[in-house]
Amino acid sequence: MEHVTLGMEWSARGFMERRARDPMVRRPAGWQGRVARFLVFGVGWTPSGLEAPAMARPTERPDPKAVDVRFRDAVAEHLQLALMLLPARRHDLFVRNPRLGDLTLEEWMRFHVWHCGHHARQIRRRLAG
């Protein structure tokens, strides 16, 4: 859960830092980013065995209660960002995802929903096995 929370905190911080910037243009994602974006957003799948980016690696023994509070705060921060930035900055404000390239706030929120589901499925498989 800390891994998911770290990614949410990171993207929210990026949008908070960039919100006052002039309109941006999405940088080209390259073929790997386009394929990754298609797999995540188009198919809802990611290959297994990928290592998390350094900024999203959890600590050795995270405190579950503290992580729960941070997760809820990160969700609330994304909802606040949506109220602050949308629809005005829908198409001209980006934060880079390490695998998918530049994403808008709405794309990041969609990614976080998918990412939570991805890890929930992993947890269910481990509990069942």
Instruction: Decide if 104 is inside a domain.
Output: yes
Total domains in the fold of the chain: 1
Beta-carbon contacts of residue 92 (< 8 Å; ≥ 6 apart): 23, 24, 25
Euclidean distance between CA atoms 51 and 56, whole angstroms: 10
Instruction: Decide if 93 is inside a domain.
Output: yes
Instruction: Decide if 28 is inside a domain.
Output: no
| pTM of the shown model | 0.90
H runs (alpha helix) in the chain = 2-18, 30-37, 64-85, 105-128
Summarize pLDDT for 16-67 with one digit per residue, the tens: 999 999 999 999 989 999 999 999 999 988 777 778 888 888 888 999 999 9
Euclidean distance between CA atoms 115 and 111, whole angstroms: 6
Q: Domain span at residue 88?
A: 2-21+33-46+53-128
pLDDT at 61: 92
Instruction: Decide if 64 is inside a domain.
Output: yes
State how beta strands 101-103 and 95-97 pair.
antiparallel
pLDDT at 124: 92
* Residue 70 φ then ψ, to 5°: -65, -40
